[in-house]
Amino acid sequence: MVIANDRNLGFARAVNLGLAACSSEHVLLLNPDAELGQAALASMRAVLREQTGAAIVAPLLRDPEGVTQSGAGRFATLTRRVGLCLPLGGRVPYFRPQYRLLPDLLTAGRVIDVDYVFGAAMLVDRAFLAAAGGLDERFFLFAEDEDICRQARVAGRRVLLHTRVVARHIGGASCADETRMEAQRLYSTYLLFGKWRGQRAARAYHAGIVCASQLRVVAARAERRPEAAAAIGRMGRLFDDAVRSGVDPLLAKRADAAAEARPARRGGKS
């Protein structure tokens, strides 16, 4: 069965509509730009059934260039998420949220407990997902995967990475506007901090990201990369606008497009 929406409701809302219409033991969340084989799915299903307390299991992710990534990350902290946005921060292993794939881990082909798995491909125990009320619809795109994994951990359930199976994932296909998409990612993380750490942490994250963005603009200009400086500056403004207005950057884009499509009113008396 296919449920076709007349507009983009966001990832979480779309998943919840599908959840309400199904009654299977497990629910597979699979992005449109991801592909998972039948054998891999069967192996993931077996893990959910056999591993005590398991609520969510996900595969490794392989990009179009053949590079395999863990597809799992550590829970967000202010230090890591703000540090990642600082100039050269992405090159420092400590700031990267994603787990590294160690050779011995891949050789062993183990199933390991992680903080959270990426929503590109995850198999979820339906009873747990229903009890959680589905995905949190406050997250239009991004961070809903970390949020549901946090809920699993709070409920005493396990989140697992299955290193014996791999899903192919293109990545970055949600929006052609990379700058706006990155602003959306930042805003969803802001909402995540507000939910799990409180508004003080969310405000600290907001201030930290704005400052980090400004430093990146300065660094890009110093390196004579004007296009990069302009993109980073725009991303910072879109994120700041979203925090102040409470409107997701991707939804703001939709509103801007609608406003541009409306005919301009003529001024003066008729």
Query: Are the C-beta atoms of residues 29 and 121 closer than 8 Å to each other?
Result: yes
Residues 6+ away with beta carbon under 8 Å from 208:
78, 82, 85
Q: How many other CB atoms are there within 10 angstroms of residue 174's CB atom?
A: 17
Return the pLDDT at 4.
Answer: 82
Judgement on whether residues 186 and 241 belong to the same structural domain of the protein: yes
Q: Choose among 259, 237, 260: nearest CA to 249.
A: 237
Query: Are the C-beta atoms of residues 145 and 132 closer than 8 Å to each other?
Result: no
Domain annotation covers residue 82: no
Judgement on whether residues 138 and 186 belong to the same structural domain of the protein: no
Query: Are the C-beta atoms of residues 43 and 60 closer than 8 Å to each other?
Result: no
Question: How many domains are contained in the chain?
Answer: 2
Return the pLDDT at 269.
Answer: 41
Judgement on whether residues 120 and 219 belong to the same structural domain of the protein: no
Place of tokens 């903080």: 115
Return the pLDDT at 92.
Answer: 83
Token readout for 200 is 């003080």
Within 75-177, residue ranges assigned H as helices are: 78-84, 103-108, 126-131, 144-154
What CA–CA distance (Å, rounded) separates 41 from 28? Answer: 9
Return the pLDDT at 257.
Answer: 55
Judgement on whether residues 128 and 31 belong to the same structural domain of the protein: yes
pTM value surpassing 0.95: no
What CA–CA distance (Å, rounded) separates 73 from 122? Answer: 13
Judgement on whether residues 239 and 161 belong to the same structural domain of the protein: no
The phi, psi pair for 124, rounded to 5°, reads -125, 140
Domain annotation covers residue 30: yes
Tens-digit pLDDT profile for the chain (270 aa)?
A: 788 888 888 999 999 999 999 889 999 999 989 999 999 999 999 999 999 999 999 999 999 999 888 889 999 999 999 999 999 877 788 888 888 876 555 555 689 999 999 999 999 999 999 999 999 999 999 999 999 999 999 999 999 999 999 999 987 666 778 999 999 999 999 999 999 999 999 999 999 999 999 999 999 999 999 999 999 999 999 999 999 999 999 999 765 555 445 555 544 443
The phi, psi pair for 164, rounded to 5°, reads -95, -5
Return the pLDDT at 212.
Answer: 96
Q: How many other CB atoms are there within 10 angstroms of residue 168's CB atom?
A: 17
Residues 6+ away with beta carbon under 8 Å from 24:
126
Return the pLDDT at 258.
Answer: 53
Residue 118 lies in domain: 11-76+96-169
Return the pLDDT at 69.
Answer: 87
